[in-house]
């Protein structure tokens, strides 16, 4: 739950939250009459389920406005329209596939996208998180741990198998379904080792996804590891939709599939009663597997259409498109010529403003790190250890879970100071850098993400990564070999050192991860604000043209179409 102390910051940064983020209770969700629940509580101007169609219309208007601006010789305004057109194609639904090794999740992904993009049988598991989205042409890249982005080809899968470092692979595929539905599919490494080097990144993905698909094999449904993963990592997380997908049904005799499916559902719901359980293959002897895949695609497409990200993205692009149309109209007004032109923009101004914005970020990062280091992780982990029966085995079997839970709990309390800093810095950016080009839009529209996703990205994701790095240190220094003799007993001085070191490394790394993410976010926001400033100045300083009235009239018509919805 979001702490009450953070309500005021949420409501200032994201005005639409005022309709639902209040006490004593939330309003009932909007009934759309559809079979799929609405994913957003926000009160928006876009009718639920219509966001994807709205994005398509916005792309057409942006393309026409771009041509008008180019015709008038306005490169900055033209570029703004071009970037908005590209933004309409961004994914609005991130679907993460999770599962133990050899559970068939990669096979299901290949079937869904109708392409053998991911390797299936050659490897046990790969230290890679692979993102697949739709685009006009095939584009494959990978990002190394140091952030370097390099071209990727199918031959590189062999290289990844022998690598210990986790990399991020990005595949843009010319797939009609992915492009039209704007869905991003993420394939993750196996979840068998929740304290391994890839655990933090997998948990980070969970903090950012809209849908989580846990693949469970019909041959060995719901192992102890899967049950533990559900209990510790899925239940209670901010994941709008969670499904369990039963795979490998094609390896079960046709007459036994329905029985196996019912048994699997019962076992799953004993530990995890909430999610729907889906079948990856037909349960009927003469069933059509293609229709099963079609049904999955349709369900994901509907979830994308109703996602809060789709609505907010459409609203963000609509607001920015309106601003740039106003700039285009202003550049064509004859009366503007008599006015005093604004002071020309010097390229040196950008460096000065950017340095000031970065200084604000560093101040916020330092203040936040001081808050984080005051967190008493040791007390929470010691309490868990005590409740376990005080055995040394707890360090090997439960310390990782305890650390993840404690950091996740603290990350909720960190949301208020994070939001306070972001709101203040973005308001400064709007008033000082963007100047007259600023429209009165909320911070959520500036960022283009739902409120809970922004906060989850800044606070929850780093907690998973920090816990994973800290546990790696525990493994190197305290869990050497199979013997438990080196593991200290509860209440000993060595145990106190173990918990204190684990907490200190985790909190320091958490602060660093938050700072890195805030830096990336601020760079994006500054670049956007500066581009808006350039476009506004271009509009004010543009010379008159013979076709000015015609262009202004058409731009105004597009604005009217935007307002009609």
Give residue-wise pLDDT tens across range 458-491.
Answer: 887 788 778 878 887 777 776 655 444 567 777 8
- The per-residue pLDDT for 122 is 52
Q: Is 132 left (phi over 0), alpha (psi -120 to 50) or beta?
A: beta
Band of pLDDT at residue 441, cut at 50, 70 and 90: very low
Query: What does the alpha-carbon distance between residue 19 and residue 127 come to, in Å, rounded to a whole number?
Result: 43
Within a 10 A sphere around the Cβ of 560, how many other Cβ atoms? Answer: 9
- The per-residue pLDDT for 85 is 92
pLDDT over threshold 80, residue 166: no
pTM of model > 0.85: no
Say what percent of the chain tops pLDDT 70: 76
Query: What does the alpha-carbon distance between residue 121 and residue 114 come to, in Å, rounded to a whole number?
Result: 17
Say what percent of the chain tops pLDDT 90: 18
Q: What is the average per-residue pLDDT within 322-335? A: 80
Band of pLDDT at residue 389, cut at 50, 70 and 90: confident
pLDDT over threshold 80, residue 358: yes
Q: What is the pLDDT of residues 501-512, one digit of tens each?
A: 999 999 999 999
* Distance from chain centroid for Cα 294: 25
- The per-residue pLDDT for 59 is 93
- The per-residue pLDDT for 14 is 44
Q: What is the pLDDT of residues 400-414, one digit of tens each?
A: 778 887 888 888 888
Band of pLDDT at residue 24, cut at 50, 70 and 90: very low
Q: Which two tokens stand for residue 79?
A: 């570029």
Question: In a 3-state reduction of DSSP, which class is residue 134?
Answer: strand
Residue whose C-alpha is closest to residue 372's, from 423, 422, 417: 417
Cβ 516 vs Cβ 492: under 8 Å: no
Return the higher-pLDDT residue of 160 and 143. Answer: 143
Q: Domain extents for the chain? A: 93-305, 345-543
Band of pLDDT at residue 184, cut at 50, 70 and 90: very high
Band of pLDDT at residue 237, cut at 50, 70 and 90: low
Q: What is the DSSP letter of 338?
A: G
pLDDT over threshold 60, residue 436: no
* Distance from chain centroid for Cα 162: 29
Query: What does the alpha-carbon distance between residue 329 and residue 548 come to, in Å, rounded to a whole number?
Result: 8
Return the higher-pLDDT residue of 380 and 8. Answer: 380
Band of pLDDT at residue 551, cut at 50, 70 and 90: confident
Q: What is the average per-residue pLDDT within 174-178? A: 93
- The per-residue pLDDT for 38 is 25
Q: Which residues of 456-493 are buried (b: 16+ CB within 10 A; e: fewer)?
A: bbbbbbbbbbbbbbbbbebeeebbeeeeeeebbebeee
pLDDT over threshold 80, residue 117: yes
Q: Which two tokens stand for residue 307?
A: 């996602």
- The per-residue pLDDT for 9 is 39
Return the higher-pLDDT residue of 542 and 437. Answer: 542
- Candidate from 174-183, 251-260, 303-312, 448-457 with smallest mean pLDDT: 448-457
Q: Which residues pair with 93 in a beta bridge?
A: 183
pLDDT over threshold 60, residue 529: yes
Query: What does the alpha-carbon distance between residue 20 and residue 61 come to, in Å, rounded to a whole number?
Result: 32
Provide the mean pLDDT of the chain: 77
Domain at 93-305: CATH code:
3.40.50.300
- The per-residue pLDDT for 99 is 84
Lateral strand order in the sheet of 139-143:
149-151, 139-143, 167-173, 128-134, 183-187, 93-98, 211-217, 241-247, 276-279
- The per-residue pLDDT for 186 is 93
Query: What does the alpha-carbon distance between residue 472 and residue 480 come to, in Å, rounded to a whole number?
Result: 11
Q: Cβ contacts of residue 544 below 8 Å, gap of 6+?
A: 332, 334, 337
- Candidate from 111-120, 209-218, 350-359, 440-449 with smallest mean pLDDT: 440-449
- The per-residue pLDDT for 36 is 26
Query: What does the alpha-carbon distance between residue 96 and residue 80 come to, in Å, rounded to a whole number?
Result: 32
pLDDT over threshold 90, residue 172: yes
Q: Which two tokens stand for residue 435?
A: 């100047």
Cβ 296 vs Cβ 254: under 8 Å: no
Cβ 328 vs Cβ 552: under 8 Å: yes
Query: What does the alpha-carbon distance between residue 224 and residue 227 come to, in Å, rounded to a whole number?
Result: 5
- Candidate from 204-208, 243-247, 300-304, 467-471 with smallest mean pLDDT: 204-208
Query: What does the alpha-carbon distance between residue 48 and residue 54 come to, in Å, rounded to a whole number?
Result: 11
pLDDT over threshold 80, residue 178: yes
pLDDT over threshold 50, residue 5: no
């Amino acid at each position: 739950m979001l702490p009450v102390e953070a309500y005021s910051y949420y409501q200032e940064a994201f005005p639409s939250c005022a309709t639902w983020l209040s006490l004593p209770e939330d309003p009932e969700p909007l009934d759309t009459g559809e079979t799929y629940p609405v994913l957003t509580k926000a009160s928006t101007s876009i009718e639920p389920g219509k966001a994807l169609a709205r994005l398509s219309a916005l792309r057409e208007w942006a393309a026409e406005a771009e041509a008008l601006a180019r015709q008038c010789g306005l490169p900055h305004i033209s570029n703004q329209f071009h970037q908005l057109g590209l933004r309409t194609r961004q994914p609005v639904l991130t679907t993460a596939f999770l599962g133990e090794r050899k559970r068939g999740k990669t096979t299901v992904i290949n079937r869904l996208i109708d392409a053998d993009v991911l390797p299936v049988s050659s490897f046990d598991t790969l230290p890679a998180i692979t993102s697949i989205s739709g685009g006009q042409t095939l584009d494959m890249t990978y990002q190394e741990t140091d952030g370097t982005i390099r071209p990727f080809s199918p031959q590189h899968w062999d290289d990844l198998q022998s690598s210990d470092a986790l990399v991020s692979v990005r595949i843009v595929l010319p797939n009609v379904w992915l492009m039209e539905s704007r869905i991003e599919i993420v394939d993750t490494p196996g979840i068998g080792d929740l304290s391994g080097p890839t655990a933090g990144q997998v948990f980070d993905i969970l903090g950012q996804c809209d849908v989580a698909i846990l693949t469970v094999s019909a041959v060995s449904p719901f192992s102890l590891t899967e049950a533990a993963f559900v209990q510790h990592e899925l239940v209670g997380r901010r994941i709008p939709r969670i499904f369990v997908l039963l795979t490998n049904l094609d390896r079960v005799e046709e007459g036994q599939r329905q029985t196996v499916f019912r048994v699997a559902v019962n076992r799953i719901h004993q530990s995890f009663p909430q999610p729907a359980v889906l079948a990856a293959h037909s349960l009927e002897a003469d069933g059509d597997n293609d229709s099963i895949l079609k049904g999955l695609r349709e369900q994901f497409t509907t979830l994308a259409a109703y996602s809060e990200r789709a609505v907010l993205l459409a609203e963000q692009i609509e607001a920015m498109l309106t601003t740039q149309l106003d700039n285009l109209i202003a550049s064509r007004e004859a009366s503007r010529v008599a006015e005093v032109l604004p002071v020309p923009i010097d390229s040196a101004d950008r460096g000065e403003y950017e340095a000031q914005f970065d200084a604000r970020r560093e101040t916020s990062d330092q203040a936040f790190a001081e808050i984080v280091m005051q967190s008493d992780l040791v007390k929470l982990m010691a309490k868990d250890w005590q409740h376990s029966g005080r055995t040394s085995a707890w360090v090997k079997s439960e310390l990782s879970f305890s650390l993840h839970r404690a950091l996740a709990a603290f990350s909720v309390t960190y949301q208020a100071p994070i939001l306070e800093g972001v709101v203040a810095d973005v308001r400064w950016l709007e008033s000082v850098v963007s100047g007259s080009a600023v429209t009165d839009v909320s911070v959520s529209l500036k960022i283009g993400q739902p409120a809970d996703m922004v906060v989850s990205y800044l606070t929850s994701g780093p907690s998973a990564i920090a816990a994973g790095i800290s546990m790696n240190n525990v493994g190197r220094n305290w869990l050497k070999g199979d013997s438990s003799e080196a593991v200290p007993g509860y209440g000993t001085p060595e145990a106190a050192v173990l918990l204190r070191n684990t907490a200190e490394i985790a909190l320091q790394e958490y602060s660093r991860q938050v700072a890195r993410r805030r830096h990336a976010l601020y760079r994006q926001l500054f670049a956007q604000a500066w581009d808006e400033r350039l476009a506004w100045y271009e509009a004010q300083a543009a010379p008159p043209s013979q076709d000015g009235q015609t262009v202004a009239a058409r731009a105004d018509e597009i604005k009217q179409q935007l307002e009609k919805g």
